[in-house]
C-alpha cells in the first residue's frame, strides 16, 4: 500500500497536476491540504471518473483537507476533537484500505508570538490528546499532512535565519517531539537520514532554484504500522512543473 500527502495549494487550480501525479505515481491513499474551496466546489466528478473515492472538508478561499483513496472511505470525523468552536477546515479522519487515515493541515502560527501562534500550539495539544486516544484503541493509523513544523535544523535551509519563525520556535518543536514520543514513526526520516531534504519551497527569491526549502509535510505512522514500512521518499517532480504548488508530495510504502 502506497500512502502520500500533498499540500496542493488550490485543488481546482492544480487539478491537472494532481490527476497527472495520481496516474503516474499510483498511490493508494493520499492526504490533500489547502484545497482553498468549499466542499461542494471540490472537483469530485473528475477525480471519481479517474477511479478515486473522496472525503472532503472544504472552506471558502482558505484551508481545506481531503482524502482520496482507491478504496471505499468511511468518514469518522471532520474536525479535530477538543474545541467545538474551531470551524477551520483542517482535519478529516477516515477508514480506508484497512487503516485509519488522517489528512491534517496544522496552523502556520505566524506572526509569533501572537494569537495565531497561540492557536497553533493549542491545535497541536489537541492533536496530541487525540493521538493518545487512537493509540489506546490500538488501531493502525497514519497522521498525514502539512504540519507547518520543521522538526530539526536539518529540515530548514537556513536555521539561523528562521529561528524566530513559528515553524521552528522551541515551543513548536517541543510539542512536535511530544507527539512523536508517543510512539509514532516519521516515515520519511526513519529511512532517509540525510539532512536538508525538503518538501516545500517558497515562490519568492528563487527558493526552488536555490533549493532553499523546508521539510514540513510528514507521514507519521502508528506503532502497529511502523514494522510494515518498506520505503519512503519525497517526489520533487511536481514542484518543478509549470505553475506548481509550493509543496511537493511525500510518500511511503507499507507491506501487507
Domain boundaries, the chain: 2-254
Instruction: Indicate whether this model's pTM tops 0.95.
Output: yes
Asked if 102 and 225 touch (Cβ cutoff 8 Å), the reply is: no
Q: Which residues pair with 74 in a beta bridge?
A: 95
Bin 183: left if φ > 0, else alpha if -120 < ψ < 50, else beta: left
> Would you place residue 227 in the very low, low, confident or very high pLDDT band (cuts 50, 70, 90)?
very high
Q: What count of other Cβ atoms lies within 10 Å of the Cβ of residue 13?
A: 14
Angle between helices 170-180 and 115-137 (to 10 degrees): 10
Options 3.50.50.60, 3.40.50.620, 3.40.50.1000, 3.60.10.10; CATH of 2-254: 3.60.10.10
Q: Which residues pair with 61 in a beta bridge?
A: none
Residue-wise pLDDT tens digits, 56-81: 999 999 999 999 999 999 999 999 99
Q: What percent of the chain has pLDDT over 70?
A: 100
Supply the pLDDT for residue 256: 84
| Pairwise CA distance, residues 93 & 101, whole Å | 6
**At 191, phi and psi to the nearest 5?**
-105, -5
Amino acid at each position: 500500500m502506497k500512502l502520500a500527502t500533498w499540500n496542493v495549494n488550490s485543488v481546482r487550480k492544480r487539478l491537472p497536476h494532481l490527476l497527472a501525479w495520481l496516474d503516474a505515481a499510483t498511490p493508494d491513499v493520499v492526504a490533500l491540504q489547502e484545497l482553498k474551496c468549499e466542499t461542494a466546489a471540490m472537483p469530485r466528478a473528475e477525480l471519481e471518473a479517474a477511479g478515486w473515492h473522496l472525503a472532503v472538508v472544504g472552506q471558502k478561499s482558505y484551508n481545506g483537507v481531503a482524502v482520496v483513496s482507491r478504496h471505499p472511505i468511511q468518514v469518522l470525523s471532520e474536525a479535530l476533537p477538543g474545541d467545538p468552536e474551531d470551524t477551520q477546515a483542517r482535519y478529516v479522519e477516515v477508514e480506508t484500505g484497512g487503516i485509519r487515515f488522517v489528512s491534517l493541515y496544522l496552523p502556520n502560527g505566524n506572526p509569533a508570538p501572537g494569537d495565531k501562534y497561540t492557536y497553533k500550539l493549542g491545535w497541536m495539544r489537541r492533536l496530541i490528546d487525540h493521538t493518545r486516544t487512537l493509540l489506546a484503541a490500538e488501531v493502525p493509523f497514519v497522521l498525514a499532512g502539512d504540519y507547518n513544523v520543521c522538526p530539526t535544523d536539518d529540515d530548514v535551509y537556513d536555521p539561523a535565519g528562521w529561528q524566530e519563525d513559528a515553524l521552528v520556535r522551541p515551543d513548536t518543536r517541543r510539542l512536535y517531539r511530544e507527539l512523536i514520543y508517543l510512539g509514532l514513526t516519521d516515515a520519511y526520516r526513519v529511512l532517509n537520514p540525510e539532512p536538508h531534504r525538503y518538501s516545500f519551497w517558497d515562490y519568492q527569491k528563487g527558493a526552488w532554484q536555490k533549493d532553499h526549502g523546508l521539510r514540513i509535510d510528514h507521514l507519521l505512522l502508528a506503532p502497529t504500522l511502523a514494522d510494515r514500512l518498506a520505503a519512503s521518499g519525497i517526489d520533487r517532480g511536481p514542484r518543478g512543473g509549470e505553475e506548481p504548488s509550493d509543496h511537493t508530495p511525500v510518500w511511503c510504502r507499507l507491506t501487507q
